[in-house]
Structure 1
Amino acid sequence: MAWVLLILSGMLEAVWATALDASHGFKRLRPTLLFVITYIASMAGLAYGMSEIPVGTAYAVWVGIGAVLTAAWAMITRKDRATVLRVVLLLGLIACVVGLKAVS
Structure 2
Amino acid sequence: MAWIILVVAGLLEVGWAIGLKYTAGFTRPLPTLLTGLSMLGSVALLGLAVKTLPIGTAYGVWVGIGAVGAALLGIVLFQEAVTPARLAFLTLMVVAIIGLKVTSGH
Q: TM-score, normalised by structure 2?
A: 0.95
User: Is there any run of 5+ residues in structure 2 with no aligned partner, and where?
Assistant: none
1:67 partner SS:
helix
Deviating beyond 6 angstroms after TM superposition, the runs of 4 or more aligned structure 1 residues are none
Distance of 2:78 and 2:59 partners within structure 1 = 28
User: Which residue pairs with 2:58 in the alignment?
Assistant: 58
CA RMSD of aligned residues (A): 0.8
Shift of 1:77: 1.8
The 3 A distance-change label for structure 1 pair 17 and 92 is: same
Percent of counterpart pairs with the same letter? 39
User: Which residue pairs with 1:102 in the alignment?
Assistant: 102
Q: TM-score, normalised by structure 1?
A: 0.96
Amino acid at match of 1:21: K
Q: Aligned pair count? A: 104
User: Which residue pairs with 1:25 in the alignment?
Assistant: 25
User: Is there any run of 5+ residues in structure 1 with no aligned partner, and where?
Assistant: none
1:58 partner SS:
helix
